[in-house]
């Protein structure tokens, strides 16, 4: 069978690649190895973890009262938090519902746009041919252009074997039957911090371990400092500049003991290994057709996401950073536009990061550390949620919205948020930055009251006060 475009993988980047081709009347096909559409994003990663987070967050508010944050210092509240653990099965109901629904939405959308769907394992036979092997038969399909959107999976260190029961990775952590009393998370990157915060909120005693001297190194340090304070308030212990040498299984029902390089030993019920991801490239036939990969098992790409073979493109997590579902959608669209010669399209370098810890973080643009390194004159405008009426209503006394502003031009250089709805609020700043807007825009605008979005106006006034003081 002949197609104008073949996409291997139905995650965010694969979906968007196929739909872009279909929207311009091209014949597109998706090959998916899972039984349902959506890829790892829908079935193992983004949606399951964020659904689980939402359930924990709502449980926390419901069990302790929406205004529990006001009495966090009260010892009885802390005792209740530790002893009143939620039911794991109940927390996972939302995940099952969301995953099933979203997978069906994706399937319907692809079928509605006449994208041909194949289920089976794909292998490149040549730069223009794909073999699809299923339990029933093996077929070959051809196309002048192929897009690899096969995603990635957690790295499993050889000296820390994952058993899927007490030693888990981010793909298997939600297979737990109950909320553990203690958990050790090895790796304080985005995924490690997200799950550490979720289980800490559910009442688990969490140890967060990382070999580096700081967590979330790419995030503005003030925001990270606020996150660390929140983690510690939840009872989390953060251990930096240390790695796990081995995981020792203790006698029956006594759990595990982790031996760290700094000499410390941690007794724990469960271990989550979150030490990076590698591409799902096994069996794809990349070496046979000449597609180059990195030592980490990621596919090398040039501009417009072309691989070393001009007819083959790669998008999404399999090419590495930024490895976000949001950027993967755009990568798929851009790769298809280039492959089908629909006109030049470039990836917009100004995109936000959403980190779904509790509390939530979102960031776009330059950090203070980067501005200092670039020797750019700037001022900071801050708005704390506890100073907002909406912040008081939702009980978020930790939230912070931070604007970084060019001292001379007053242009917005960066927005960094920690607190409720951070990943939604960031898009206001993104729009203003995209159009080259200045801070007076926020001062001159009317925001609904009471909202968290008002933080932009409060922070803008604060920034302008700094400009006046320094002028």
Per-residue model confidence as pLDDT tens for the chain (471 residues): 999 999 999 999 999 999 999 999 999 999 999 989 999 999 999 999 999 999 999 888 765 444 344 444 444 444 444 446 688 988 898 899 999 999 999 999 999 999 999 999 999 999 999 999 998 899 999 999 999 999 999 998 999 999 999 999 999 999 999 999 999 999 999 999 999 999 999 999 999 999 999 999 999 999 999 999 999 999 999 999 999 999 999 987 789 999 999 999 999 999 999 999 999 999 999 999 999 999 999 999 998 999 999 999 999 999 999 999 999 999 999 999 999 999 878 889 999 999 999 999 999 999 999 999 999 999 999 999 999 999 999 999 899 999 999 999 999 999 999 999 999 999 999 999 999 999 999 999 999 999 999 999 999 999 999 998 766
Of the candidates 275, 310, 287, the residue with the CA atom closest to the CA atom of residue 152: 275
- State the Cα–Cα distance between residues 347 and 333, nearest whole angstrom: 10
Cα(155)–Cα(275) distance, rounded to whole angstroms?
6
- Regarding pTM above 0.75, the answer is yes
Distance between CA 214 and CA 372 in Å, rounded? 19
Q: Does the domain spanning 5-44+93-153+278-339 belong to CATH 3.50.50.60?
A: yes
Strand-pairing partners, residue 206, are 183
Torsion of CA 275, 276, 280, 286, to 10 degrees: -120
Q: What is the pLDDT of residue 318?
A: 98
What is the distance between the terminal CA atoms of the chain, rounded to a whole angstrom? 69
Give yes or no for a contact between 332 and 401, defined as CB atoms under 8 angstroms apart: no
Domain 359-470: CATH superfamily is FAD/NAD-linked reductase, C-terminal dimerisation domain (3.30.390.30)
CATH H superfamily, domain 156-274: FAD/NAD(P)-binding domain (3.50.50.60)
Own/partner long-range contacts of 68-75 (Cβ < 8 Å, ≥24 apart): 68/395, 69/395, 69/396, 69/397, 69/398, 70/395, 70/397, 72/233
Domain with CATH 3.50.50.60 in the chain: 5-44+93-153+278-339, 156-274
The number of residues making up the chain comes to 471
Q: List the beta strands (DSSP E) in 261-351.
A: 265-268, 270-273, 277-279, 312-314
**Residues 6 or more apart whose Cβ sits within 8 Å of residue 455:** 383, 385, 388, 399, 401, 417, 425
Q: What is the pLDDT of residue 58?
A: 87
What pLDDT does 75 receive?
Answer: 44
d(CA 18, CA 114): 10
Query: Which residue in this structure is represented by tokens 């790769």?
Result: 335
pLDDT of residue 343: 86
- Range list for CATH 3.30.390.30 in the chain: 359-470
Q: Which residue, 255, 253, 265, is CA-closest to 182?
A: 255
Which residue, among 313, 326, 317, 273, has the nearest Cα to 298 in the 3D structure?
Answer: 317
Q: Hunting for tokens 């998916």 — which residue is that? A: 32
Q: What is the dihedral of CA 259, 265, 270, 274, to 10 degrees?
A: -50
């Amino acid at each position: 069978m002949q197609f104008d475009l073949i996409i291997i993988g139905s995650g965010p980047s694969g979906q968007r690649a196929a739909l872009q081709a279909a929207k311009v009347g091209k014949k597109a096909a998706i090959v998916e190895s899972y039984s349902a559409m959506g890829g790892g994003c829908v079935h193992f990663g983004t949606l399951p973890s964020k659904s689980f987070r939402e359930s924990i967050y709502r449980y926390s508010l419901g069990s302790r009262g929406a205004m529990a944050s006001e009495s966090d210092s009260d010892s009885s509240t802390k005792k209740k938090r530790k002893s009143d653990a939620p039911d794991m099965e109940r927390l996972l109901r939302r995940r099952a519902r969301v995953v099933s629904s979203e997978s069906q939405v994706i399937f319907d959308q692809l079928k509605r746009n006449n994208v041909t769907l194949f289920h089976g394992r794909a292998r490149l036979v040549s730069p223009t041919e794909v073999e699809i092997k299923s339990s029933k038969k093996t077929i070959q399909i051809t196309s002048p252009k192929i897009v690899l959107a096969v995603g990635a999976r957690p790295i499993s260190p050889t000296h820390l074997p994952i058993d899927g029961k007490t030693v888990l990775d981010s793909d298997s952590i939600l297979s737990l039957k109950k909320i553990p009393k203690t958990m050790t998370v090895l790796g304080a990157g985005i995924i490690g911090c997200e799950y550490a915060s979720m289980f800490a909120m559910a009442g688990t005693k969490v140890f967060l371990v990382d070999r580096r001297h700081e967590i979330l190194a790419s995030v503005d340090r003030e925001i990270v400092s606020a996150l660390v304070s929140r983690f510690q308030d939840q009872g989390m212990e953060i251990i930096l500049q240390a790695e796990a040498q081995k995981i020792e299984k203790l006698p029956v029902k006594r759990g595990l003991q982790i031996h760290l390089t700094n000499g410390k030993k941690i007794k724990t019920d469960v271990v989550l290994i979150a030490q990076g991801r590698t591409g799902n490239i096994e069996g794809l036939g990349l070496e046979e057709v000449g597609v180059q990969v990195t030592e980490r098992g990621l596919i090398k790409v040039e501009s417009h996401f072309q691989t070393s073979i001009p007819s083959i493109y790669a998008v999404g997590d399999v090419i590495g950073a930024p490895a976000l579902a949001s950027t993967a959608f755009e990568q798929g669209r851009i790769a298809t536009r280039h492959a089908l010669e629909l006109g030049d399209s470039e990836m917009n370098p100004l995109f936000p990061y959403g980190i779904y810890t509790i509390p939530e973080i979102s960031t776009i643009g330059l950090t203070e550390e980067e501005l200092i390194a670039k020797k750019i004159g700037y001022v900071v405008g801050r708005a704390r949620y506890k100073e907002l009426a909406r912040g008081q209503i939702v009980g978020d006394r930790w939230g912070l919205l931070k604007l970084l502003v060019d001292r001379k031009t007053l242009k917005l250089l960066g927005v960094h948020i920690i607190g409720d709805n951070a990943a939604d609020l960031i898009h206001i700043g993104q729009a203003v930055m995209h159009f080259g807007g200045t801070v007076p825009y926020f001062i001159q605008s009317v925001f609904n009251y009471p909202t968290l979005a008002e933080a932009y106006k409060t922070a803008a006034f604060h920034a302008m006060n700094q400009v006046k003081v320094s002028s």
